[in-house]
Amino acid sequence: MDSFAEPRKTLDDSESFSLEDVRAQVSKLEADLRDKNVPLSGRIIHVCHYLPITCAFARRPRPSDIPSPPATPPAKASDIPPSPTAEQSPSPSGEDALHAPRGTVPPPQPSQWQLHVRYGHSAMVSGIDSLAATHEQIFVGWTGDIESGSGSGTQLAGGQDASGSASGSDAAPGKVSSGSLGEEEKKELEGLLAEYHTRDEIKDGKPIHYVPVWLDDKEAHGHYDGYCKQTLWPLFHYLLWQDVATEYASADAHWAPYAAVNAAFARRVAEVYRPGDLIWIHDYHLLLVPSLIRQSLPEAAVGLFVHTPFPSSEVFRCLPRRKEILDGMLGANLVCFQTYSYSRHFTSSCVRVCGYEVTARGGIDVQGHVAAIGYCPVGVDADRVAKDTLRPGIRPKLEALRTLYEGKKIIVGRDKLDVVKGVVQKLRAFEKLLQDYPQWIGNVVLIQVTSPALSDSPKLERQVSEIVAHINGEYGSLDFIPVHHYHQTIKKDEFYALLSVADLGVITPLRDGMNTTSMEFVIAQERTKKSPLILSEFMGISSNMSDALQINPWNLSEVAAAMHRGLTMSDEEKLRRHQQLYKTVTTHTSHTWAAILAKKLLERLGSSNMARQTPFIPKGELERHYIKAKKRLFLFDYDGTLAPIVKVPSAAIPSKDTLKALEILTADPKNVVYIISGRDGAFLEQHLGHIKNLGMSAEHGGFIRAPGETTWRNFTEPLDMSWMQEVLEIFKYYTERTTGSHIEVKKSSITWHYRSADPEWGLFQCHQCQDLLENNLARKRPIEVLVGKKNLEVRPIAVNKGEIVKRILYFNPDAEFVFCAGDDKTDEDMFRALLLFPQGSADQGPKHVTLEPPLSVTLLAGSKEEAEKFEPVELAIERDAIFTTAVGHSSKRTLAVWHVTTPEEVVEHMLHLVRDALEEEKAEVQGDLAPPASNL
């Protein structure tokens, strides 16, 4: 990242567009993608922790559940009527039989399920609902705790009550354990959800299907009440778990249920997915799902939106499972946040914690898979809020509040009673207002409503009550109470009456992502006073609402001064600020937010990184061509291909399996095996020199040692290498200014490494150095500048791995099989050299090609006359027998035809090809170890 400054625009390029404009852009993008034959289903799958529906269950009594009546007491003999004779036997068709009316159908069984709207996350849900105007929606989420639909609690057979809640189950009182539900009962709910419609769904819109995720009760609560609420939520709000726990806290205590629930969600998504679906995953409850979906659905377009703040890397790195969380998130094609600063914190964490690199466009490169990073604040459903402010029950309450506080200014606050909501700081700032501006004593009241949080905090409740009592005792009187604190959930009419009557709104969270109260305040004020709003600068929407009075909630004097300014603000300034805020709130709504997310993911789908997915190399096809070929070429990069990338280059030593595979491959006279590496010759000889018949090329094609030879041939001898001293001086300059960097001088190239430097500063310096070299030195000298993994390399233009591959092909024209594997940009030269056949159908093109003498052959000829003696050669290789293989993700941009994910998979494929030789070797070893047979 070259700049840490926030971009000028706060949202998106669609910032000044209406909802209709964004939808038009989405339609155009979809049409363009279909023209390019990119599959699109017209569906969006939204994956959320909860379904926006609550479920209640009351099981119908089954015959086996009805207890048997007590035994009939024995009757007197005289009371027993005589048995009927054949003539007296009642017949089904007799007059005494009860007949059902003809044509009647048995009455339908009443449903065991009751469905109701779940309140909360209204902005997100309304945004998702709005997309039904253009797309079919699949809403995947947990059912939540299933309520007992029976209030009687009648005990049935089998230890169950009428609701179906098993005795001794994990379910809480009044709840139904998911484990007690049978498959038929689950199917019944799924059928009801498929037909369910909320009142907010668009009329004549496309359908919204609700798909439940069935979770074990214990895992579900370990996931949500445990890891989400006790570890991730505090961390994302700049608190560590021990700061909020009431007892000894372990950040890993609930990791297992968190991982299990994420896996269950990923499986459920895979079940409903169709090719061409867009998948959006919402919030911190499901951070592992993107990577899990990527594993099962590698072609899927996956977005992740994090609704909470994201902390700085210095806070995030405290999390024990930090890498697992980041890798899970980076499985998405697009990771989106509320603000630019949150996206920058995430990028910094990926670079600092995982060592991943940032692409030129700001994405994160994970083994070739690039996750784009974006930001887009959520809004509210402005039309719905505006309608709610017109409810008939609001006006009487509004007038009552005006009468009650006549002659006084009213400051309003409404927050959850949570440690990060800043209620304590707000109360202390109000006290500071009364201290610094005593003219307000008796003339201003603070009405603070605190709704109960998900987890009770008696300590915080007590602290708030003590501060309220102190202020009222210090500044109140018999006829004046400065602070009115209501710790309760208020009704919607009361809420909007409170927002409408306010002379000043004060919202001061210490950290917050999306805060709907601030936007609802602006809309409620449109019909009343146009009162100003004070917002904490630590909110996700603060940068989008720049016309509010923004404050640091920790600076009590600043907040008190802002309160005074807001209460004394002129009507003209109030109106100007309100109009700008109102325009923002009514333009950037939850509907616009949802449409922009769809647009961003479609743009990502059309990017070059997702345009072509490289398929995984087929073992069967590889083996078939290997067996058929009379001569075979194996061309391997080293770092990242045969050995994993490590922080200390000298520690990248080959594994036992790698050495074993190379030894068996080189022992076969049909095989020609080369290691084509950026390493110097000394390193290759140290670790691989003992393998007979192994060819090597060092320093990215600068040197070559043919199989069976001991001397290296230098391609740079006939070249002008005087540029190396100039490059060395430039690299020294940047080394002095980048702690942890160092220079590696080779015979044919020179490399500046910054793997041990601060990752962000190292990358910045790398870009600066690259710019200097390309714009000054490279224009005057026959050199090229290569940006590698945590390094910058300068080498001669005539020297590269592709030239070495051409040389090997030229001297082995009878080869009928090529397996070439590499992982980084320098290896693309090898893949490019193996693009021997023109693009198009294999049936239409030539079966064999001719190769001209490459530069790597003529350079070592000694003289021009000798070079001219080399003639073109016809290659025996066929198109399907060339297996160029990139190591990394399938979405990695590469010229290779196939891919594997890790270096271990390269070695696994090598061992697969030589498994017959391995089995023979094992048999020989076992034969040598077997005891001699006794002579009988």
Q: Which active-site residues does the annotation give? A: 637
Token pair 């930001």 in the structure block, residue: 375
SS3 243: helix
What is the C-alpha separation between 180 and 682, in angstroms, rounded? 67
SS3 at position 676: strand
> Containing H/E element for 648?
none
Give dist(CA 49, CA 124) in Å, integer: 12
* Paired tokens of 192: 């009801």
Residue 57, both tokens: 């269950």
* Segment holding 764, helix H or strand E: helix 759-772
Q: Which helix (H) or strand (E) holds 220?
A: helix 217-221
| Terminal Cα-to-Cα distance of the chain (whole angstroms) | 81
Give the C-alpha separation, 268 to 196, whole Å.
Answer: 19
CB 369 within 8 A of CB 504: no
CB atoms within 10 A of CB 779: 9
Q: How many C-beta atoms surround the C-beta of residue 84 within 10 A? A: 9
Q: Say if residues 264 and 178 touch (Cβ distance below 8 Å).
A: no
Cα(82)–Cα(822) distance, integer angstroms: 97
CA 482/CA 434 separation, integer angstroms:
9
Rounded Cα gap, residues 100 and 143, in angstroms: 41
Neighbours of 670 (CB within 10 A): 13
The candidate with the shortest Cα–Cα distance to 447, out of 521, 408, 491, 498, is: 498
Structure tokens at 82: 């005589």
**CB-CB contact of 335 with 281 (8 Å):** no
Tally Cβ neighbours within 10 Å of residue 470: 14
Q: How many H-runs (helices) and E-runs (strands) does the chain carry?
A: 32, 35
**Which has the closest alpha carbon to 184: 96, 239, 109?**
109
Amino acid at 563: M
Three-point CA angle 560, 565, 568, nearest 5°: 125
Structure tokens at 397: 């309450």
3-state class percentages of the chain: helix first, strand second, coil last, to nearest 5? 40, 20, 40
Q: Which of 194, 198, 55, 56 is nearest to 122 (CA)?
A: 198
The C-alpha atoms of residue 510 and residue 217 are separated, in whole angstroms, by: 33
Q: Which residue has the tokens 């793997």?
A: 755
The size of the chain, in residues, is 936
CA 677 to each of CA 78, 655, 746, 897: distance values in angstroms, whole numbers, following the listed order:
109, 17, 13, 21
What DSSP designation does 55 have? Answer: E
Contacts 24+ apart (CB under 8 A), 753-761: 753/649, 753/790, 753/791, 754/790, 754/791, 754/792, 755/647, 755/789, 755/790, 755/791, 756/647, 759/351, 759/352, 759/355, 760/1, 760/348, 760/351, 760/352
- Residue 4 identity: F
Q: What's the token pair of residue 857?
A: 């052959």
Three-class SS of residue 828?
helix
**Alpha-carbon Rg of the chain, whole angstroms?**
36
Q: For residue 412, give the DSSP letter.
A: E
CB 921 within 8 A of CB 933: no
Query: For residues 329 and 347, what is the distance between their CA atoms, to the nearest angstrom?
Result: 11
